[in-house]
Amino acid sequence: MLLTQILTQSFNKQVVVELLKNIPGMTWTPAVNEHLKKMSSSFNVKRSFNTFPLFTQIYTVPQAFSWLDEKPECLKVRDHGDCGSTLAFQAVGQFSDNRCISKFDKTRINYSEQYQISCDTVDLGCEGGYLAQGMYYIKSNGVPTLQCVSYKSGTTGQPGKCPTTCDDGSEIKLVKSQNYFYVGGEEGIKAALSQGTVYTYFQVYEDFMFYVDGIYQHQYGDVAGAISVSIVGYGEEEGIPYWIVRNSLGASWGKNGYFRVIRGRNECEIEVEAYIQIV
């Protein structure tokens, strides 16, 4: 049986892990992962294929950089649960990151993914949507804080109705971004990272569902779909350049909720469509 067939039919089996472990030159560690089912319901983000303002500022970038080192208090890993809402989680998560990094908020304030999931009528709630729309919605409409509208879809699997008040009945106050810019390619993303975390598209192959640690490079398996993730830094290990990327499966997944992926060759299309929010 082909490995792709094994992955499709029984991707949570130890036999697949053993097959992956025996691939020559592996740079990442596979294992049976309790987050597999949650991940497979979330591969529904679509690329936008439109023209957006280009981030053109030029910065001298260091050899390696990570907001996990520079401003760890400004980053947080969240868990989208049983709703396919990676788009909202990373768009709103980046907004929260960058308001803290830019000191618009004195400490990190978590903004409400639920509000975007329930109220953005262009995207599809728990069924995903278009990458750029996540940015556009925050700029044009804004989102309240998580304290105002808490996350519920992770339990129900449904987007729910757009709330008219905060959970406690008080008035909803929306916060908007100033703008967002497209950044493409390795150098563009590195430059944008000097300003904050970067929101991007990541095409998921079946072997990624076994990721535990290391520098991910696609080895085998079919395309399972796509998710939204946030690039928070970059570096190099034993001659292999990598991005540091945040997922939204909680801190127990991967390396404290993050993974590394090889940098500079557009692995899984991670360098094609990326955005920086100017808060």
Phi-psi region of 114 (alpha: psi -120 to 50; beta: other; left: phi over 0): alpha
Report how far residue 118's alpha carbon sits from residue 127's, in angstroms, rounded to the nearest whole number. 12
Q: For residues 275 and 230, is the Cβ–Cβ distance under 8 A?
A: no
pLDDT per position as a tens digit, 183-233: 989 999 999 999 999 999 999 998 998 999 999 999 988 898 999 999 999
Instruction: Classify the C-alpha dihedral 241-246-249-253 as positive or negative.
Output: positive
Taken in order of first residue, the domains within the chain and their CATH numbers are 3-278 (3.90.70.10)
pLDDT per position as a tens digit, 242-277: 999 999 999 999 999 999 999 999 999 999 999 999
Q: How does residue 2 score in pLDDT terms, banded at 50, 70 and 90?
A: very low
pLDDT averaged over every residue in the chain: 89
Confidence (pLDDT) at 107: 96
The set of long-range contacts for 12-21, using a CB threshold of 8 Å and a minimum separation of 24, is: 12/36, 16/210, 17/210, 19/220, 20/207, 20/210, 20/219, 20/220
Report how far residue 273's alpha carbon sits from residue 117's, in angstroms, rounded to the nearest whole number. 21
Entry pTM: 0.91
Q: For residues 116 and 96, is the Cβ–Cβ distance under 8 A?
A: no
- Which is more confidently placed, 115 or 36? 115
